[in-house]
Amino acid sequence: MDKVRTWWRAHRPSTRALVQLYAALLYNAHLKGFVQGEIFTGPTKALCVPGLNCYSCPGAVGACPLGALQNALASAGHGAGWYVLGILALFGLALGRTVCGWLCPMGLLQELLHGIPTPKLGKGRVTRALSWVKYAVLAVLVVALPLGYGLRHGMPLPAFCKYLCPAGTLEGAVGLLSNPANGGLFAMLGLAFTRKFVALVLIALACVFCWRAFCRFLCPLGALYGLFNRVALIGVKVDADRCNGCGACVRRCPMDARRVGDRECISCGKCVDACARGAIALCAGRAVLSGPKPAAERPRRARRAVRAAALMALVAALVAFNLPGAPKQAAPEAAVGSAVGEQLADFTLPLLDGTTFRLSEHRGQVVFINLWATYCAPCVREMPCFDRLKAGHPEIEVLAVHSSLVTEDVAAYLADKGWALDFAVDEGDAALQAIDGSALLPQTVVLDGDGVVVYNQAGSVSDEILEELLARASGAPPA
Amino acid sequence: MTGKRIYLILQAALWTLLAALLIAGAVGLYREGMALRAAGDVAAPLFTRERVAGRLAKLAPLAGLALGLTLVGLALGVRDARRRPAACGKIPVRGEEPRRTARLRLVLLALAAAMIALGACNGGARDVLYKAVNICTECVGLG
């Protein structure tokens, strides 16, 4: 029994690990999303969480601050960035990089990977130099590219999400793909997925050998919060009267900090344990949260109350986000549906040119329905393909349905584009319901002359694919 | 070389091999799909659930071995405990928080709150919501 107790004392999770797990659970409280393979679309997604947690994760109940920041910068011309910048500044001022050490799910994952017993790489001049790379990532992928591309082309390019973010690949892509209900998503995987999957594997491997490799060298969110470390309310502080400058704190520090509380410090608290003189503590302003104070002096009641409140909040979130929602409307007839081979239900939409689109009026024609949004770069990029298709085949119908979530005047946006298609805004989600649209953009549905679905897929298309789909729908060999 | 050292090196080799095979698998699937498209089926999916599952099934024994060895090592408390010198020199420490830092924090906090309020009024919160619930597939590594 004593052996078990000793083993448990040596291996039990630290308070920090429990807080990290708590934060990961709270950010991803929509657990039924993992079962259903659908993302959460409730109003709490207007709020950013402090840590790096992709909003396309089926469990995510909040927005990723980096994804939101890039999208906001891409819309800088519309003045939409104040909200995200304010939230990031608030988190930075309150917590600084304490977020990285305590509240980031990716941090927890990196530490778990580092727990795999292998030879480990220590820190030194090379890692210190590499720690500057994340500032370049922040400047180029998070700020310059989204801002520049947004201003120049009028559409977003969240470059960090698109090219590098391991949270997006792991939580979003792999999280959605691993559910059997999303088998259709495999068809849209391509070079972007391959590239990001390779990046994810390399980053994960680096984390096995090197403590928090992504956090230290690549994470732009950590770089951003690091800028606030000096003024952050919560963080590790040193009592200058007790400190003798022995340097034990920095030798023990697994990050690349040169001094306690500098831009690299994530307030993990290893220096608190390392300090023989009890000069270091995790503080919130002047209040000591965790430090060398004798146990008797600590306000145990207050701690228990905080723990109980936190636990209740988590339970409440898990219950609230996982309550069964309203059941989906059943299809009116067995043969009607949105899967390939089924007849698409009729729907009516007011077009932006003032006329009305009714699906049943287009029987005998091949119909392409494209779900898109002005803020979805791949959607905007593929729109000329639909325009060329329509120009080359005037006998077909192409309907471009903008998502009901409108961030700008769609008609004004289209004014100078010159696309000769039928455009509609899906205000009542009539088209979305008819084609069983997901929260993923873009999505294309192709109907043959009898109104039967021959293709229904989220993901980008090209000229060649559209010609192939047209041939499939009209029963003719491709040109 | 001690048994512990051999174990650690074996673990490193196993996990590196697993990562290399995962990368090779993903790239291989992509190339196979591209070859199909080049052969004329331009709408052919590059990845399919069956092909991905087939590749993953081949890696399962190696992944199981690596995971099993890891769990054994963790239970026995094996780890790389070599001491490495920190190349950080003498450490300056931060003293008590100066008053101007506290004042600066307050000013910045007020500024942040004002930015959030302004953003909430000009539709910034709505934009965040819309882009978080209508996901651009390309941006998360799909598509």
A89 and B111 Cβ atoms separated by less than 8 Å: yes
Contact yes or no for B119 and A259 at CB 8 A: no
Measured between alpha carbons, how far is A416 from A412 in angstroms, rounded to an integer?
Answer: 8
- Single out the residue of A50, A49, A29, A51 nearest to residue A40, CA to CA: A29
Say whether both A452 and A307 belong to one domain.
no
Say whether both A305 and A378 belong to one domain.
no
pLDDT, tens digit (0-9, with 9 covering 90-100), for A18-37: 999 999 999 999 999 999 88
pLDDT, tens digit (0-9, with 9 covering 90-100), for A134-173: 999 999 999 999 888 888 877 778 899 989 999 999 998 8
Which positions in chain A touch B85 (Cβ < 8 Å)? Answer: 251
Measured between alpha carbons, how far is A239 from A277 in angstroms, rounded to an integer?
Answer: 10
Band (A334; pLDDT cuts 50, 70, 90): very low
pLDDT, tens digit (0-9, with 9 covering 90-100), for B73-110: 988 888 777 655 454 444 545 555 667 888 888 899 99
Say whether both A118 and A219 belong to one domain.
yes
- What number is the average pLDDT over the span A327-342? 58
Domain containing residue A410: CATH number: 3.40.30.10
Pairing state of beta strands A422-425 and A397-402? parallel
CA-nearest residue to A90 within chain B is B112
Q: Would residue A411 count as lying in a domain?
A: yes
Q: Hey, is the C-beta of B25 within 8 angstroms of any chain A C-beta?
A: no
Say whether both A362 and A309 belong to one domain.
no
Q: How far is CA A161 from CA A146, A167, B53, in A?
A: 10, 9, 26
Q: Would residue A328 count as lying in a domain?
A: no
Q: Would residue A135 count as lying in a domain?
A: yes
Contact yes or no for A72 and B101 at CB 8 A: no
- What number is the average pLDDT over the span A118-147? 92
Query: What pTM did the predictor assign?
Result: 0.83
A378 and A370 Cβ atoms separated by less than 8 Å: no
Percent composition of chain A: helix, strand, coil (DSSP 3-state, to 5): 50, 10, 40
Q: Would residue A342 count as lying in a domain?
A: no
- What number is the average pLDDT over the span A281-290? 83
pLDDT at residue B23, rounded to an integer: 96
Q: How many residues does chain A have?
A: 479
Q: Hey, is the C-beta of B52 within 8 angstroms of any chain A C-beta?
A: yes
Contacts of B91 (CB under 8 A, 6+ apart): A245, A246, A247, A249, A250, A258, A259, A260
Say whether both A79 and A214 belong to one domain.
yes
Tell whether the model's pLDDT for residue A119 goes beyond 80.
Answer: yes
Residue of B93, B100, B122 to mutate, testing the A interface (most A Cβ within 10 Å of its Cβ): B93
Measured between alpha carbons, how far is A424 from A337 in angstroms, rounded to an integer?
Answer: 21
This complex has an ipTM of 0.90
Tell whether the model's pLDDT for residue B143 goes beyond 80.
Answer: no
Measured between alpha carbons, how far is A444 from A436 in angstroms, rounded to an integer?
Answer: 11
Which positions in chain A touch B71 (Cβ < 8 Å)? Answer: none
Say whether both A378 and A309 belong to one domain.
no
Measured between alpha carbons, how far is B93 from B90 in angstroms, rounded to an integer?
Answer: 10
Q: Would residue A257 count as lying in a domain?
A: no
- Token readout for A250 is 């920095």
Q: Which of residues 59-98 of B touch A (CB under 8 A)?
A: 70, 73-74, 77-80, 84-97
- Single out the residue of A345, A370, A349 nearest to residue A358, CA to CA: A349
Q: Would residue A243 count as lying in a domain?
A: no
pLDDT at residue A330, rounded to an integer: 45
Say whether both A300 and A425 belong to one domain.
no
pLDDT at residue B18, rounded to an integer: 96
pLDDT at residue A290, rounded to an integer: 78
Measured between alpha carbons, how far is B107 from B90 in angstroms, rounded to an integer?
Answer: 34
Work out how many domains chain A is built from and give that number. 2
How does DSSP assign A152-221, residue by residue? HHSS---HHHHHT-HHIIIIIIIHHHTSGGGGGGGGG--HHHHHHHHHHHHHHHHHHHSTTHHHHHT-HH
Over its C-alpha atoms, chain B yields an Rg (Å, rounded) of: 26
B47 and A182 Cβ atoms separated by less than 8 Å: no
Contact yes or no for B8 and A118 at CB 8 A: yes
Measured between alpha carbons, how far is A54 from A452 in angstroms, rounded to an integer?
Answer: 36
- Token readout for B116 is 């959030």
Pairing state of beta strands A287-290 and A397-402? unpaired
Contact yes or no for A118 and B88 at CB 8 A: no
CA-nearest residue to B99 within chain A is A231
pLDDT, tens digit (0-9, with 9 covering 90-100), for A216-249: 999 999 999 999 998 899 999 888 888 888 888 8
Contact yes or no for B47 and A233 at CB 8 A: no
Q: Which of residues 111-130 of B touch A (CB under 8 A)?
A: 111-120, 122-130
Say whether both A309 and A435 belong to one domain.
no
Say whether both A433 and A309 belong to one domain.
no
A65 and A53 Cβ atoms separated by less than 8 Å: no
Backbone dihedral angles phi then psi of residue A273, each to the nearest 5 degrees: -70, -30
Neighbouring CB atoms inside 10 A of B117's CB total 13
pLDDT at residue A477, rounded to an integer: 53
Domain range holding A116?
A: 11-232+294-321
End-to-end CA separation in angstroms for chain A: 77
Say whether both A31 and A180 belong to one domain.
yes
> What is the rounded average pLDDT for all residues in chain A?
86
pLDDT at residue A79, rounded to an integer: 60
Tell whether the model's pLDDT for residue B136 goes beyond 50.
Answer: yes
- Token readout for A291 is 């430090």
Q: Would residue A467 count as lying in a domain?
A: yes
Q: Hey, is the C-beta of A179 within 8 angstroms of any chain B C-beta?
A: no
Beta bridge partners of A238: A280
Element (H, E) at A358: strand A356-358
Say whether both A312 and A403 belong to one domain.
no
Helices and strands (H and E) in chain A: how many: 23, 11
